[in-house]
Amino acid sequence: MLRRLYQWVIDLAERPSAPWALAGVSFAESSFFPVPPDVMLVPMCLARPKLAWFYAGICTAASVVGGLLGYAIGALLYESVGLFLIQLYGYGDKVEAFTQAYQHYGHWIILIKGLTPIPYKVVTITSGFAHYSLFWFVVLSVITRGLRFFMVAGLLHWMGPRARHFIEERLGFVTALLAVTIVGGFLIALYLF
């Protein structure tokens, strides 16, 4: 079943509409959606390695624009939508500490958390709620999200067919590792921050 799902994603990644779907997932993940764009970025880079940099650019741009939506939710709709989303992901009791940390370490919070599997939507919503500088939020989001997605694309481009062979030979392991990374990111954010 896992192999059929993998092949379905690879086939989907080769369709002309795949970049639009990648942009949609990247946008949504930065503001409300729980699944990271890597689940589409990786298969798309494997299916068309020559377009890896283009796909990383799509992820970066869409993620930053989605981050602006998350920022707006935090700044304008925190009491309704923002608080609901933060509590949905289990961070409701951590927002005040997170907001105070922004006063001293705002730049570092965005840079570090944007690179990790910690859900970026928490950063975007809290940035808006804390009224963090919109200019610096955008600049740092471009840096951190771009670095993250271009590192993934670069690794897959550099490894080329070896990466695809490795993933296909160890599909169960790679899928488990991805799941552990996603769940681990949520748990780290929940219990350590």
Q: How is the chain split into domains, by residue range?
A: 52-192
pLDDT reading at 148 higher than 80 = yes
Does residue 32 or residue 118 have the better pLDDT?
A: 32
Residue 120 has a pLDDT of 84
Mean pLDDT of the 120-149 span: 90
pLDDT for 149 beyond 90? yes
CA 105 to chain centre: 21
Q: What is the pLDDT of residue 72?
A: 94
Q: Looking at residues 131-154, what average pLDDT do you find?
A: 92
Sequence-distant contacts of 160-165: CB under 8 A, at least 24 apart: 160/49, 161/49, 163/46, 164/46
- Model confidence, pTM: 0.77
pLDDT for 129 equals 84
pLDDT at 140: 94
The amino acid present at 118, given as its one-letter code, is I
pLDDT, residue 133, reads 92
CA angle centred on 137, ends 135 and 142, rounded to 5°: 100
Percent of the chain whose pLDDT exceeds 70? 77
- In three-state secondary structure terms, 170 is coil
CA distances from 89 to 34, 108, 118, 176, 189 (A): 9, 22, 11, 21, 10
